[in-house]
Structure formats: structure tokens, C-alpha cells
A and B are shown apart, each in its own frame.
Chain A
Amino acid sequence: MTENLIDPAASNETSPSVRPGPTQPNPSNHLLEVRDLHVTFPQPGGAVTAVRGVSYHVDQGEFLGIVGESGSGKSVSSLAVMGLLPSNAKISGDILFEGKSLLGRSDKEMSKLRGEGISIIFQDPLSALTPVYTIGAQISEALRLHDRKLSKAAANARAVELLKVVGIPNPERRAQAFPHEFSGGMRQRAMIAIAIANNPRLIIADEPTTALDVTIQAQILEVLQKAKDMTGAAVVLITHDLGVVAGNADRLAVMYAGRIVETGTVDQVFHAPSMPYTVGLLRSMPNLATAGHTRLVPLEGRPPQLSNLAPGCPFAPRCPVVIEACRSTEPPLTVIGEDPLNSAACLRVAEIASGQLDRTKLYPVPEPVATAERALVAPETVLDVAGLERHFPLSKGSVFKRTIGTVRAVDGVSFDLRTGQTLGLVGESGCGKSTTVMEILELTKPQAGQVSINGRDVATLTARERKALRKEIQVVFQDPMASLDPRLPVQDLVAEPLTVHGVPAKDRLEKVRAVLDLVGLDPSMASRYPHEFSGGQRQRIGIARALVTDPKIVVLDEPVSALDVSIQAGVINLLQDLQEKLGLSYLFVAHDLAVVRQISDNVAVMYLGRIVESGPAEAIFENPQHPYTKALLSAVPVPDPTVERSRTRILLEGDLPSPTEDITGCNFRTRCPLYKLMDAPGKEQCRTQDPQPRAVQNSVVACHHAERIGLLAAGMP
């Protein structure tokens, strides 16, 4: 939950104060019906209304997606259904489950329903499981809570069965394990096992895959679908990722600033969005199917503060087609066409639906940098990495430490980066991509291999030369809030690299103003502190700091993954423009393949410390030659229901192997879908020989059987 629910004056035993809504005892024939739900949190700085009049329903066996950015109220409304909001929350309206109102019930009454009628899956599976009890105990607890007669042994047996259902190997043994011994994906599977333990009629999944890697996300969504089919339960999936709902949900509700602003079937919402916010959100998302061909359309501005809402449509300040009336009246949800379930909250919904206002032209497409402004650069290699290694010793034993193995975080990585180009380094967490860039940024002799910048081997640098070289290579981090010292004003932050190089104060100030202007920030804001800026602006400050020394190379370590989707587009466009204007070279590290495709010229895919495939972005995305690349691409959800329905996914089995495991031959073979299809000699080759990178078609691939990749028939976007 991103909403701030803190109130020091909270008293907690009393049940949330409830004001029954104006609804008459109007029986509902839906499984769950939420009517005009309002949730307000009293706070020292004024009450925050996180949910402002939300109504929706879910029928038996239905799959409803609720989409919204952080702070849109999507999680709060589902916690209200579960009766799990903090006791100081003021709730009004009505929530009916199987025709009976849930509001005003005591905690005890609600606890009988929770887990049995409605269950919920939370976002972060690490903190959502009690660290001191075994997984099996936590599942059988859920069983025994609702079936007092169930014996302990029977509950344990059923828990093992449930673990098997959600696809955990060795369920008997794993039931005895503690949560910290499980990987993120396995924990989320265990959470699903808990949720389906009592065959609930409704499962609420609150961002169930947000903390997970894309291949694990695909697995979890599969398990969720399976759980739904098995129990016949209805599912409410809450997410910020339009791609995740596109392939799974039947109906969709889009939330903005505490309200539902558009609802309909997935096809209606994705293909004919009628609220400008939905239109903008869909246009601003990098889409794996279309990325790289068109410029992203940024959705400028940021969501309003819920503590202090101006009258009128909350989206009005960001809306490109805003009219005077929008600023005074908040539009209600209006039915768009024939279908009474398809509606949007916009005063101009009729114009948009009828095509009077063209959806595709609603937002101006930003112009690319004019040719005259483009920097001309000679194509030369600015960064050359050859055979880079970084191994960490893994020690065990408490009295006498002994080394029991090595973690090969980076295990012979080679690539080069040329002037004015972008190299995208992709991989899931734990693949070593961040360690690789941190090793490069140290500018010292690596454990093995060579790093050269501008043709100069960094191992041979003197301390003075190293300091001078730091001007040439700068870095932008993932989370702008974490990478900017909160105690310093922006001008000092941006000028910090200059102070290192002894630039006089007056010149520093001038340069700071110039770069702030360059990244699209008002130089007059230089004396403010980072917290006064929005997320997107903060990342611009981070970029300005990286550019202040006029570097040739900028290392971008997941520069947009901490930002809300609607803000990402603006930062990506800025990076592209700056590259063209200044002739920068980017080393772009990311896990989001759509973003990488949008910005990269070349791509290198990493798995367990190695680059498994590299080559021009076009070749990698259109025609992947390595089974891992192929699986990775097929796991990325595409925000288009038609595409999603026609795709088949290549699901990777299991998790990333533990770094201590010594895998002979190809280190991907334990999860490789192609390996399974190979004949005995082919398998033998994978088991015994470490595949070396070789050119196949347009890319360089480390796979013995790249030519037979066609065996993996997967529907690509």
C-alpha cells in the first residue's frame, strides 16, 4: 500500500467508524458489489480521502482487473472489502458480499469470512509471511481456522497437497521450510496456496507480481489462473501494469485519484478507451510489440494530492482536451454506448466515443530532435569490456570460516559501446547486470578481464588520471530519491561532480543552470531541495548531475523503473533527445524489455553472469536465437488483449539456480525449454560443453542449438 495511512492519534480496538450509505436494503445478486465507497484517513495535515465514491461489482467466476497508478486508491478499496483497513479509517457507502453487507460487521464476524469466502494475495511475499513459522504450518493454520474439526495431521497433508497444486517441487520437504528459505516466486506460490486453501468464492490479488521478475510473473499469473479454474472463484486483480490485465481479465476498471474513471471489458477499454487518462496511459507505455518504431507520448504532470483536491475533474490539469466545465464539475461515470457496463468519467466522452475527437491525436506526439541540432559524432568505441569477471567467495561456518564456493556474479562479460549509441543490458534480478556496471564504474583493475574507456585500459591509470577520467563516465541511478542526498539543495547536488574537479564556484553555478535548462527544469528552482520535486523531476535532476561534466558515456542503471508508468515516457524521451543533441553513449541497464527496446541500438541479454545473446536490438527482439531470450520475450505481457490472447507463452521452469550451484556445461540447461526437446547427443553436448558465443543470423549467441530455436513455437507479438 503506497498510501500513507499514518495517524499518531489512531485508536485501534474500535472498529472503523462506519456511516451507512444512503442505500436502501437493495438486494444484490452479484457475488461482490461495492456501492459508492468512500474511505477517508484523518491525518495531522488534514483528512485524506483515498477512495471517493467507487462502485463496482464482480460476478461469480468473473475476472475483474483494477488498474491504477500509485495513490489511485486501488489497494485501499480492496482492503476495505476485506475489512483490513486501519481502524481510524472512515468508511461510507456499502459493500455487499453474496447479498449481505460487510460494513459495520465486527472484526470477529469478518474473520469468519476472511479466508473462507474472500481471500487476498498481497504484493510483497517476503514480508507477508510470518518469518518464524514454516510454510506448511502457515497453510495448515489457514485450513484449521475455518475447520476446527480438522486434525493437525490432516491439515498438514492438505497443505502439502496445496503446495503441489501451486507447483512447488518436493512439497513434503518444502512444507517444512521457513519463508526465508523460499525464493520470491515460491513465496508468492505459497501465498496463493494459503489464499485458495478454503476454496473461497472471491480471490483478491493485490499487485501479486509487482515484486517479481518477468519470467516468474508469467509463472505466477499462470498459477493464479489455474487456482481460479480449480476453485471456480472470482478474481479481482489489482495492478499498475496494463499488460498484466490485458491477457487475464474479463472486465477492467481504471482508477484515478480515488475514483473509477473508466470501466468496460478489456477489449472495450484497450481498443476504444474513452477517458483521456486511459488513452494517455496506453499511449505512454512502451509496448514490446510497437516499441522502437514510434516515439512515446508522455502524459505530463502528476496525479493530484488527495489531501487537497481542487473541485472539478482531478485529471483536468493533465488533460490535453480540457474544457472550462472540467474545472468546475467532476464528471460522473457515463455509459458510453450500448453496453451499460462500459462507461467513462469524462465530460467529452461522447465526442471521444463517436470519433469527433480522434483518440490517436488526443496527445501531441513529441517532435524528434531537429537534424540541425543533432551532434555529429565519429563512430568510435568509447567503452570496451573484455572478459570481465567478478567472483565473490561464499563462506560458511561460524567459528572457522571456510570458503565453500564462489558466486560468479559476473563471469566473463564482453561488450563494446560506440559513440552516440545505446547498449541495453537486460536480464532478470540476480543475473549480474548491476554488478557489471558497478565494476566498470569503479575504474579500477577488475579481478579478471579488461575495461577500456576511450581506448585507455583503466587498470593502468594513476589516481590523478582516474579522477580526470571520471569526468567522461557518469551514472544515473534507479531511484532518484535514493540517489540524491536529501540534505543538499539541487544546485549543490548537481554541482558536486564539478567540485571534485576543482571548478570555481561561479562557473559551477552557471553550468548548473545550463544543464538544468537542458533537462527541462526551471533553473530558478536550483535552490530547492529534492523532496520538493516530483518523481520524474527528481530523475531529471539525476540526469542533470550526470551531464554536468560533459561526459561521453552515461551509465543508466534502471533509470525509469522506479517511476510511475505515466511519467516514464517523458524521461525516456528526454534521454533520447539528449543523446541526439550531445552525442552521448548510453549503457542502459534494465529489466523492462519494452523500455530497452524503445531506447537501445544494441542489446545484450544476461543470464547468471554471462551474456547469452547480443546484437542489434531489431534482431534480438524480432528474431531471438537463444532459448532464454525467447522465453524472456514471451513472458513480457503486452498491453493489448488481442495480442495477448493469440500468444503462447514459453514458461521457464523453476527459479534462478542458487549461485553456489555448480552447473556443468551450459548454465541455462536446468531451465532450458529447448534442452528438453533435444535428442540424447544434443543434451549430452549441453551437459558437458560450455557454449561459447558465436554468430548466428544477426546476433551473437551462446547456445549449442541456436539453429534449432524454431522448435520452440511461441507466438511473438
Chain B
Amino acid sequence: MIGFIAKRFINYAILSAIATLSAYVLASIILNPAARYLGRNPRPSDATINSILDGLGVNPNTPWVERLWAWIVRLVTEGSLGDTIHNTSVISEIAARAGTSLRLLILGTVIAAIVGVTLGVWGAVRQYRFSDQAISVASFTILATPAFVLGILLMIVATLLNNFLGVQLISFTGEYTPGLDGGWWVQFGDRAGHLLLPTISLALMGAAGYSRYQRSAMLDVLAADYIRTARSKGRTRGSALVRHGVRVALIPMSTYFAYSFATVLAGAAVTELVFSWHGMGELLVQSISQSDINAFTGAILFNAILILIAGTLADVVYAALDPRVRV
């Protein structure tokens, strides 16, 4: 089992490394950091621009292979991901933003998984009953809604609610209220309040996908012979489904979790942008619009590491759930 997990981990690690390196190469080829300085008034001299770019290691005049090599050497020897074009270190930039993103991501994913699995099992067991149809319609509709539309719709609802109540019950712009005075508890409450809508948005999207998948995994299990065996031993249908069915139907979910995680990341980035959070999603989009190669690569590396962790975690769960892979 440890061998299995180790193999999967190495596989993910190599994939993440290659993904990051190819992101660096692609960004180096496509983005032109010099353009940012050319438009300035007064326009800096070419020598100035070159020295700035050389300092960052992103000068397009240097072949990208050399730049990539320098980037790797710096990463290995100094543990540095280079500097952003604002001359801050990429690592400190990520450190400042990671907490914001992770808070949303972890909460959203956990809620999505719990709600999605529950609704999926419920829908399968009550197949074609009203509750199943309602869950199905709701999840199809959410899946058909882009993340940004969902976010904005939630904001409209919150505005209406706030207006109706006449107080700012739900605040949704940014990650916290700037300049808010108060103790630790006030700060905490404020952040939690700001977290509400983005988390709902992300959790809704995740839960819609998980519930569809869990429903079909559960339907496969409903027809399985071992459910019939469990009933023939003297279990009622409901108890056989819970004790034998759900346990088996969770196995494919761990795989689905691993492969849907990249989508969740993209969804989280969009959600952050919509709610004006200063998280990793914003860093990623900003870095591209500002042609910041180092920051972009750093953001991609961050995502790759998250996928690495999520993938390995999914494998651990898989191995724990399914004795057939525990060799």
C-alpha cells in the first residue's frame, strides 16, 4: 500500500514539475515584459530596460533555455522563485496570498464533498422520486451556470437581502472590511462574514458535480449482486444500502475528486476575482496582464503543488477504501 501511494506521489510530483516548467517556457515565449516599460512616459532607455529585465531574469533577448536554467538553478540553490516585476519576491507574494486562497478552497471543497456525496446517495436511493428530480434539476442548473454568474447572482441576492433588512448583514466585497476597528473576535467575525458568499458559490459548484457523480456511482452499486446477498442475509433494503452500498460507492469518488480538483482550482480563481479577493487567482490573472513571468510561474507551481497534494490524498483515501489495491 505504501508502495502504491509512493508510486502515485512520484507520478504526481513529476507531472507537477513538468507542468511548472512548461508553464515557465510558455510564459517566456508568449509574454513580453519589456512592453510594460515601453509604454512609460518618459520612455526608459533600452539599457535601463535591459538591466531591469536581466535583474529579474526575464529578458526576452536571452534565449529561453538559458533563462529556464537560471530559474531552476536559483530555485535549487537559493530556494527562490525570483522576483515579481514590482521587485517583491514571488515567494513572499505567494505567502501573503496563499492563506486567503486556501481558506476558500479548503472550506469550499470540504463542504462540497460532504453535501455532494450526501445528495448523490439520496438521489440514487430515491431515484425518480420528487427529491431526486429536484436535486437533479438543481445540480444541472448549477453546472450550466458559469462560476462568475453564480457569484454575481449571489451578490444580487445578498444586496436585496441587505436592502430588505436595512443592515449590512452579508458583506461580500473583498476579503475583509478595510479599516475595521475591533478586537480579534470582531476581525474574525468580519472575515467569516466575507467568506460566506464565496464559499457558498464554490461549494455549490463542487456539490453539483459531486452529487451527479456520486449518484451514478451509487446507482451502479444499487444493482450489484452483493446488495442482494446482504438482503438475503436478513438486512432490509435501506440497511443493506447504507452498510454495503455507500461504502463501495465512495471508492470511485476518490478518483473523481483527484481529477476534478484542477477544475475546482479554476473555479476558485474565478470566484476570488468576482469577489475581489487578493488571492492566488488574482495573482495569476494579474501576472499575465502585466507580463510577469516569474509571478505567473510561481502561481502555477502553487497550483501544481495543490494538485499534487489533492491527488495523493485521493490515492490514500482510495487505498483506505478499497482493499483490492492494498497489496
B54 at the A interface (CB under 8 A): no
A712 at the B interface (CB under 8 A): no
User: B231 near A: Cβ within 8 Å?
Assistant: yes
Q: Nearest chain A CB to B253's CB is how many angstroms away?
A: 13
A142–B225 touching, CB < 8 Å = no
Closest to A126 in B: B225
Q: Which of B3, B127, B248 is within 8 Å of A130, CB to CB?
A: B248
Name A657-679 residues within 8 Å CB distance of B.
none
Query: Is B161 interfacial (CB-CB < 8 Å)?
Result: no
B226 touches A398 (CB 8 A): no
In the assembled complex, how far is the CB of residue A132 from the closest CB belonging to chain B, in whole angstroms? 6
Query: A112–B235 Cα gap in the complex (Å)?
Result: 8
Binds B, one of A117-125, A419-427, A464-472, A686-694: A117-125
Q: Which of A119, A132, A194 contacts B323 (CB 8 A)?
A: A132
Q: In the bound complex, what is the Cα–Cα distance between A613 and B178 (angstroms)? A: 89
* Cβ–Cβ < 8 Å partners of A141 in chain B: 230, 233
B236 located at the interface, meaning its Cβ lies under 8 Å from any Cβ of chain A in the complex: yes
**1/0 contact string of A76-93 vs chain B (CB within 8 Å):** 000000101000000000
Q: A129 with B3: in contact, given A11-B128, A180-B324 (CB under 8 Å)? A: no
**Chain A residues with CB below 8 A from B228, complex form:** 84, 122, 128
Which residues does chain B contribute within 8 Å of A146, judged by CB atoms?
A: 234
Give every chain B residue within 8 A of A243 (Cβ-Cβ): none
Interface range on chain A: under 10, 10 to 19, 20 to 34, or 35 or more?
35 or more
| Pick from B128, B231, B327: contact of A84, CB under 8 Å | B231
Known contacts: A131-B323, A131-B324, A399-B10. The answer to whether A112 contacts B226 by CB under 8 A is no
Q: What residue in chain B is nearest A6 (Cβ atoms)? A: B223
Q: Interface readout for A165-207 with B: 1 if CB under 8 Å, 0 if not?
A: 0000000000000101000000000010010011000000000
Whole-angstrom CA separation of A132 from B247 in the bound complex: 8
Give the distance to chain A from B260, nearest Cβ to Cβ, in Å: 23
Cβ distance A122 to chain B, nearest Cβ, rounded Å: 6
Is A10 among interface residues, defined by CB-CB distance under 8 A?
A: yes
A229 on interface, CB distance cutoff 8 Å: no
Main secondary structure of the interface of B (DSSP, over half): helix
Chain A minimum-CB-distance residue to B240: A111
Pick the contact of B3: A133, A191, A397 (CB < 8 A): A397
**Shortest Cβ distance from A219 into chain B, in angstroms?**
21
B234 x A112 contact (CB < 8 A):
yes
Q: Which chain B residues (138-191) contact chain A, with CB distance < 8 Å? A: none
Binary contact track B212-226/A, C-beta < 8 Å → 1, others 0: 000000000000111
Question: Quick one: which of B7, B128, B232, B236 contacts A398, CB cutoff 8 A?
Answer: B7
| Contact across chains for A132 and B321 when beta carbons are under 8 A apart | yes
CB <8 Å contact, B323 and A130:
no
Interface residues of A (CB under 8 A from B): 8-13, 82, 84, 107-108, 111-116, 119-120, 122, 124, 127-133, 141-142, 145-146, 178, 180, 191, 194, 197-198, 396-399
29 sampled A-B residue pairs with Cβ under 8 A? A9-B128, A10-B128, A84-B231, A84-B232, A107-B236, A108-B236, A111-B235, A122-B228, A124-B225, A127-B224, A127-B225, A130-B226, A131-B226, A132-B247, A132-B251, A132-B322, A133-B244, A142-B233, A142-B234, A145-B233, A145-B235, A180-B324, A194-B229, A197-B233, A198-B234, A396-B327, A398-B3, A398-B6, A399-B6
The 8 closest A-B pairs by CB, nearest first: A115-B234, A398-B7, A398-B3, A127-B225, A142-B233, A130-B226, A145-B234, A115-B233
